[in-house]
Amino acid sequence: MLKKTAQKTILVAGGAGFVGSHLCEALLRQGHRVICLDSFLTGNIENVRALCAFREFRLVRQDVIEPIRLSEALDRVYNLASPASPPQYQADPIHTMMTNVVGTRNLLALAAEHGATFLQASTSEVYGDPEVHPQSEDYRGSVNCTGSRACYDEGKRAAEALCFDYRRRGTADVRVARIFNTYGPHMRADDGRIVSNLIVQALKGESLTIYGSGEQTRSFCYVSDLVEGLMALMEVGDAPDGAVNLGNPSEFTVTALAHLVQRMVPSAAGIVHRPLPEDDPRRRRPDIRRARDLLGWEPRVPLSEGLPQTAAWFVNHLAGSLPPPARPGRRAAAASA
Ligand code: NAD
């Protein structure tokens, strides 16, 4: 247990989501008081049910678009509140934009009022479909501001602008993390993200869907690595001048990922190709030199470890809705069908 002076009161907006729930748990384990504020738009009470047993954990159901009033004095504010997968953020694009703009403004104002340090969960989507590779923080991005992903990409870009305006005015101590593809337990089975999609399809014995040729690349960061990076950025003495990329620089094609899943899950069937969605980025790999230099952070969990851990979690989580375990030879038969 932390001494009273070291114990902080920390707000995690979006704390019932995939990343937020792991962050809440890690902060509680360090001995802090955690307030998880979430509208449950894409979050899940199951992600934080075990945390509700901690005396130092409080759950507030609220949309960040509405003015936020809390009775506790806050030391830290993490803003993770935003749907993150394309089907979810495109379901109500205007609400997504408002969540990122109005919601971030509300949380920045709250941090300023409390003198709390603020961390914004931004995204590699601010780079759009990048023309430079790998992406360093100085790259200004190639985003289609009228496309169907703009509600998220441009919402996050506007949120970054707000963060740095608060900082320039000296009203809040602000840090901005640009998060690249992250995966792990607590992802939703139906959220349409590539890792959860492929694992869930494999466990159900369905064909694995690849959008486009499969030659597009992504870099996958295990959630425990990301949470360590977020906490290191929040606690680093001097706020970095700009945003900081957090992601795993190991790059895989989507086809290579699908093959890894096929090798790992005996029930996985063959691969089917579907058209690439609008504005889907062709290449993604973070340049993490800034995070290494400033935070001493780099990811430690390779895909070969993180993927089986994620699949094992889905097996437990989906128990009852999965077909019986595959008999030897079934995959070969399905793959050739
Ligand atoms: P998630 O959808 O699992 O979690 C987001 C949480 O925010 C959910 O619990 C949701 O209910 C809540 N939320 C959404 N809109 C809200 C609103 N208006 N008011 C209150 N709560 C709201 O997504 P995640 O993967 O955990 O992502 C967390 C953050 O990290 C997001 O801001 C996302 O943009 C960012 N990010 C994630 C990834 C990734 O690969 N997971 C990559 C880049 C950026």
Q: How many domains does the chain have?
A: 1
For residues 192-201, b (16+ Cβ closer than 10 Å) or e, as one string?
ebbbbbbbbb
In a domain, 104, yes or no: yes
8: its two tokens: 């902080």
Ligand 1: which of 80, 96, 100, 188 to mutate, most ligand atoms within 8 Å of CB? 80
CATH number at residue 157: 3.40.50.720
Q: Which residues pair with 38 in a beta bridge?
A: 61
Q: How far apart are CA 324 and CA 301, in angstroms?
A: 30
Secondary structure element (H or E) that encloses residue 28, with its range:
helix 18-29
Domain range for 29: 9-180+223-248+281-300
Nearest CA to ligand 1 atom 17: 63
Within-domain flag for 81? yes
Residue 305 maps to a domain: no
Q: Tell me, using a 6 A CB cutoff, whether residue 89 lines ligand 1.
A: no
Is 139 noted as a catalytic residue in this protein? no
Give the residue, by CA position, lying nearest to ligand 1 atom 15: 82
Per DSSP, 51 falls in state G
For the chain, what percent of residues have pLDDT higher than 90?
A: 87
336, part of any domain: no
326 pLDDT higher than 70:
no
Q: State the distance from the centre of ligand 1 to the C-alpha of 222, rounded, in angstroms.
A: 16
Q: What is the pTM of this model?
A: 0.94
Is 5 a residue whose pLDDT tops 90?
Answer: no
Span 203-250, pLDDT tens digits: 999 999 999 999 999 999 999 999 999 999 999 999 999 999 999 999
For residue 99 and ligand 1, the question of a CB distance below 6 A is answered with yes
Q: Is 121 in the pocket of ligand 1 (CB under 6 A)?
A: yes
Cα separation, 94 vs 104, in Å, equals 15
Asked if the structure places residue 51 within a domain, the reply is: yes
pLDDT tens, position by position, 17-72: 999 999 999 999 999 999 999 999 999 999 999 999 999 999 999 999 999 999 99
Which of 78, 89, 152, 222 is an active site residue? 152
235 part of a folded domain: yes
121-157 as b/e: b if 16+ CB within 10 A: bbbbbbbbbbeeebbebebebebeeeeebbbbbbbbb
User: How many Å lie between the centroid of ligand 1 and the Cα of residue 40?
Assistant: 10
Q: Which of 11, 18, 68 to mutate to test the pocket of ligand 1 (most atoms within 8 A of CB)?
A: 18
Q: Is the pLDDT of residue 334 over 70?
A: no
What digits encode the pLDDT tens for the residues 253-280?
A: 999 999 999 999 988 889 999 998 888 8
171 domain residue, yes or no: yes
pLDDT for res 281: 82
The answer, yes or no, to whether any atom of ligand 1 lies below 6 A from the CB of 182, is yes
Q: Does any domain span residue 275?
A: no
